[in-house]
Amino acid sequence: MNISSIPNPDLAVTFDDKPNWEVSDNRRAGWHNLPTTTRYSMTLRAEGISPLSKEINWKIGDRSDVSRFLAVSHFSAFAVVRGDRVIFESYAPDFGPQQTHSVQSITKTHLNLMLGRVVADGLVDLDEKVGIYLPEIGSAYANATVRDVSNMNIENDYTEDWSDPNSLVFDMDAAIGWRPPREGQNEKPLREFLCGLTGSDLTNHGGELNYKSANTEILAWIVERVSGRPLRDWLLEIVEAAGYEGCFHISCDRVGVPILAGGVALTARDLARYGLLFARGGEGVDGRKVGDAQFIEETRKSTVGPTWETASGYMRYNRAMFTNGTFLGHGGWGGQYLLVNPDTDTAVVYFSVLENRTAEDLEFFAPLIEMMDSVAAS
């Protein structure tokens, strides 16, 4: 008997050369249900929870800059956690405090903790070439320094343009199980895809942020290689230190490599718990420590790294984080942001799902970051 199949309706490529779950009409459901949408995933849970008490400061919600972002149609969640208190939170009608949300590229910040640890342990030199640690890597990364890769400060042939169906970001999506391969191509594991990337002059001559999600996967591979520990163990250590109340979900490729460029889904409160690890120099619950306090503080205060201009000034991208010298943060494709102010022990989380063509809007992000920075500092 020959029983034929039909394409999975969530993953099948439809409008605008995107898988069905990523197109505008379905994107909100996709971001709200990432763990049950992608082909491969891993779930971890903490043994002990970091307790949070709720002491709402309603003046936060009364601020005009806050209420503006709570009123937009693509809003999902907003949470402000200071120390061990939830001082404000709000949720959309179709979302709630126990529901996980795709955080997309906020996932990249895990590399700051991982890289900080291997640098502190003397296993990685930020000024060494990637090819020293990954001899099998191709010309896109072999002669780039680890520092420049972590700062999104290199050039190569990998492209990340969500408006261009020929962009290589769509081939990486196929390698991580977020969509099927292009017609006539076979699905490659993530690291086989990375080894096939090419480049010649890797210098970022423009001096501005040259964002490439493949960079993060290169760093994750280096961490695993030099430490001799699987990425799963690194992630579990962070999960335990953060003391998540709910589950930590992360997408994987078909051979089980976790996707550190953007595969995580968490609740708003748990993302805030994670953010507080940076506020506290890597100190977690029950004496658990992750990352390196000096590395985190150097990241925050650094004047090195390519710039991104916003309405309120410049931010730099340094060691897998954005910083303006006061806060540490990162955004996620589609409308998420995590911002942490170590001076006030505050983490601010914003979830939303943009429904324009590319799921990108820099004019939206700049005032959002400005608002979150103000809330965290006040």
Q: Where are the domains of the chain?
A: 15-377
| Contacts for 318 with CB less than 8 Å, ≥ 6 apart | 150, 151, 299, 302, 304, 305
pLDDT at 236: 98
Long-range contact set of residues 9-12: C-beta below 8 Å, sequence gap at least 24:
10/37, 11/37, 11/39, 11/178, 11/179, 11/180, 12/180
Rounded distance, CA 256 to CA 309, Å?
37
Instruction: Identify the pLDDT of residue 165.
Output: 85
In this prediction, residue 355 carries a pLDDT of: 95
pLDDT per residue as tens digits for the range 111-138: 999 999 999 999 999 999 999 999 999 9
Q: Residue 194's pLDDT is what?
A: 98
For residues 134-152, average pLDDT:
98
The residue among 305 and 334 whose pLDDT is bigger is 334
Stated pTM of the model = 0.97
Mean pLDDT of the chain: 95
Handedness of CA 356, 92, 58, 80 (dihedral sign): negative
CB atoms within 10 A of CB 231: 22
Give the per-residue pLDDT at 303: 85
Q: pLDDT value at position 344?
A: 98
Give the pLDDT confidence score for residue 163 in this predicted structure.
84
What percent of the chain has pLDDT above 70? 99
4-41: per-residue pLDDT in tens? 999 899 999 988 888 999 999 999 999 999 999 999 99
| Alpha-carbon Rg for the chain in angstroms | 20
What percentage of the chain carries pLDDT values higher than 90?
90
**Residues contacting residue 112 through CB under 8 Å, at least 6 positions apart:** 278, 291, 295, 296, 299, 319, 320, 321
Mean pLDDT, rounded, for 46-70: 97
Predicted local distance difference test score (pLDDT) of residue 274: 98
Angle made by CA atoms 18, 24, 25, in degrees to the nearest 5: 110
313: pLDDT strictly greater than 70? no
88's tokens:
């404000």
CATH classification (class only), 15-377: alpha beta
pLDDT band at 310; cut points 50, 70, 90: low
Q: 268-285: per-residue pLDDT in tens?
A: 999 999 999 999 999 999
Query: Cα 125 to chain center, whole Å?
Result: 23
For residues 165 and 16, the answer to whether their CB atoms sit within 8 Å is yes
